[in-house]
């Protein structure tokens, strides 16, 4: 997948960076990215050439390295009139945020019949790899979670509403890491249903659960973007693979996605596959 070589920002940021002045702080600093905490949520900053985060932007590598080397968690950050000012340990660094190219990461709408989806090469390859994906996810699985995950692929269970609510609450925040595996599975699953316009009611269940069950700030940011129908650039690329006819190309892209994070890529693909199973079964009965 080709990456932009320009400084870019997600269209999601335009939805909440509207105030003329916002005060925040440095939330987390990693080798290749960092997060700024504003009252309205996180802003992820990565380097040009990386996949764009649903709630983030990409800056030139030399600018990122300067911020990375001079910053500490807790440093003050100010957003003013479209620009970000980072009050690092050595100097104030400005990011001309208003000059970045905006990239649309909105989840599109796909129109495929049940048979077209079942016969699609991407769908078939995900199904073929489903058993191995289930062994590679980062989520410790007990009987309740195993049954709950199975239920996610079934549209017509009795008491489906209460079963959905139970597994959502079981998954949110479950697992280790900055984005727990349970969250990544839910995000992949929700993404698949939204892609085929099969998420009516489901999105509200997820939103309601997030008000009651706590997870990490980074996961909350991903969920917030997702519930506004926006997802990471690398997973948005899955949409293009529905038109790909080369088996090796699809497999190569799936392997790249699996390497995202520690197990985040695998977890998200696993949830995405379950979501596609749900969609296919629901459309089959229409």
Residue 2's pLDDT is: 44
Residue with tokens 């139970």: 166
Each domain of the chain, given as residue ranges in start order, spans 8-103, 114-284
The model carries a pTM of 0.94
Q: How far is CA 209 from the centre of its chain?
A: 17
Query: Which ranges constitute the DSSP H helices of the chain?
Result: 13-16, 61-70, 114-118, 121-128, 130-136, 143-152, 160-171, 181-195, 202-212, 217-227, 233-236, 238-241, 247-258, 264-284
Question: How confident is the model at residue 1, as a pLDDT?
Answer: 45
- Distances from the Cα of 254 to the Cα of 97, 110, 169, 207, 260, angstroms: 32, 19, 28, 28, 10
| Cβ partners under 8 Å of residue 70, min gap 6 | 88, 89, 90, 91, 93
**Which residues face 38 on adjacent strands?**
41
pLDDT of residue 285: 81
Helix or strand or coil: residue 42? strand
26's tokens: 């440095």
* Whole-number Å distance between alpha carbons of 239 and 272: 11
Question: One digit per residue, pLDDT tens: the chain, 286 residues?
Answer: 445 568 999 999 988 788 889 999 999 999 999 999 999 899 999 999 999 999 999 999 999 999 999 999 999 999 998 999 999 989 999 999 989 999 999 999 999 999 999 999 999 999 999 999 999 999 998 999 999 999 999 999 999 999 999 999 999 999 987 899 999 999 999 999 999 999 989 999 999 999 999 999 999 999 999 999 999 999 999 999 999 999 999 999 999 999 998 899 999 999 999 999 999 999 988 6
Per-residue confidence (pLDDT) for residue 83, from 0 to 100: 93
In this prediction, residue 6 carries a pLDDT of 84
């Amino acid at each position: 997948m080709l990456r932009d070589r320009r400084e870019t920002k997600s269209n999601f940021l335009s939805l909440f960076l509207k105030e003329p002045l916002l005060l925040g702080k440095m939330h987390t600093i990693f080798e290749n990215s960092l997060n700024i905490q504003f009252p309205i949520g996180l802003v992820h900053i990565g380097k040009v050439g990386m996949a764009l985060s649903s709630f983030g932007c990409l800056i030139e590598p030399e600018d990122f390295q300067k911020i990375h080397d001079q910053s500490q968690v807790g440093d003050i950050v100010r957003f003013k009139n479209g620009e970000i000012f980072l009050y690092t340990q050595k100097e104030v660094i400005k990011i001309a945020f208003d000059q970045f190219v905006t990239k649309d990461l909105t989840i599109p709408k796909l129109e495929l019949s049940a048979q077209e989806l079942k016969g699609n090469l991407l769908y078939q390859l995900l199904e073929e790899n489903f058993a191995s994906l289930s062994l590679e996810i980062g989520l410790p699985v007990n009987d309740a979670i195993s049954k709950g995950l199975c239920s996610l692929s079934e549209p017509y269970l009795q008491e489906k509403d209460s079963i959905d609510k139970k597994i959502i609450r079981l998954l949110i925040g479950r697992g280790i890491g900055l984005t727990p595996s349970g969250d990544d599975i839910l995000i992949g699953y929700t993404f698949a249903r939204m892609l085929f316009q099969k998420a009516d009611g489901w999105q509200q269940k997820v939103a309601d659960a997030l008000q009651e069950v706590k997870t990490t700030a980074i996961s909350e940011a991903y969920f917030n973007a997702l519930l506004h129908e926006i997802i990471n650039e690398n997973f948005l690329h899955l949409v293009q693979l529905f038109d790909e006819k080369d088996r090796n190309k699809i497999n190569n892209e799936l392997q790249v996605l699996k390497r995202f994070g520690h197990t985040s890529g695998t977890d998200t693909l696993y949830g995405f596959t379950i979501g596609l199973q749900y969609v296919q079964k629901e459309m089959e009965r229409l």
